[in-house]
Chains A and B, each alone.
Chain A
Amino acid sequence: MADLIKLRARLKDGVTEVKALMNHPMETGRRKNDVDEVIPAHFIQLVTVTLNGKPVLEAQWGTGISKNPYLTMRLRTAKLGDRIGLAWHDNKGGSNSAETLVEAG
């Protein structure tokens, strides 16, 4: 699926670990295709992670993040059942978001 985000939040010993895997080509704009044409840049520029709607992480990214970006972050303020959200926006105006609940780790 082109628009999939895998998002998981697990609470263990007071720390909630949020793991995300986003499907995105992360094209740098420097690669060429088989017929030597430059593939236009297409990459995520902004990722926001929220806890019950409040931002906890705002990440700005360049073209140096690997294809299908992976992210782990940690929170000490989340409780079981809290809502964790993740949204990304790319340089072409594309975006996607996902939500999950904090579960026991």
Chain B
Amino acid sequence: MAEAAIPQSVSSPAPEKFLPLGKVSFFRRFWASYSAAILTVGAIVIAGVLWEIEARYIKLVPAYLIPPMSEILAKLWTDTISGEIPFQLAWSLKNYAIGYLIGAGLAIPLGLGMGTFQALNKLLSPYVWILYVLPRIALLPIAIIAMGFGPEAKILFIAMACFFQVIIPTVAGVVTVPASLLKVGRLFGGSRIQVYRKVVLPYALNFIITGLRLAARTGLMVMYSTELFGSIRGIATYSIREAALFHTDGVFAGLIVITLLAVVLVSVIDILDEKLRPWKNEVSF
């Protein structure tokens, strides 16, 4: 309606801003393509330099609390070379991977089942909701007393976090398939199974992938916070130990490792998602 009201015949001369590409100066083109990357890298470098200056000369916060950036990077380097950080990180990541696989592996079939069968949905959804809303981390002390400081409790919590992050979008995906699509499928002579395979599953796939993405991020957070409380090994344990020894450079080194890990993981997933699923429409949570 609104579009129809706009007269289509009016043709204005192109505004001067949109010159053909050849006439734009090299610098402008360069800036247009890379400004975000340049500004980001520049900002990170400047932040690091300011940190260094603050810790060495200004000292708003005593240097034993926030050490200079160079010392943090040096500590990061030595501990990586000595194998300490990779060793701890590998232990954490193993739990993370196992937990993620268990959680997502259970959530997808169960979610599809709950979305498809009304009765199952009615039976299980109250529990899924309660456990989803409950801040599950509060159960950690009991789980640790029951299971010990080993990997079992961590895997359980990572699996739970991933499970709920995946199952809720999965159910929502199956339930919210537009009725018109289902009708079209039936109209064109698809059997129930065919409609399910060719309409419902591709539609729900979007939601499932969104859930898997969210789970990757949440699982990482849970991995860290479960280790924080008490653990035999792990990257968070490394940070805690360094903090207890007042080696704040080690704490910041651990923080850098976990930040890098999260950023790399999330961006790899996002890029893969972009490449493999170009048709996606954003499902926001």
**A pairs with B:** no
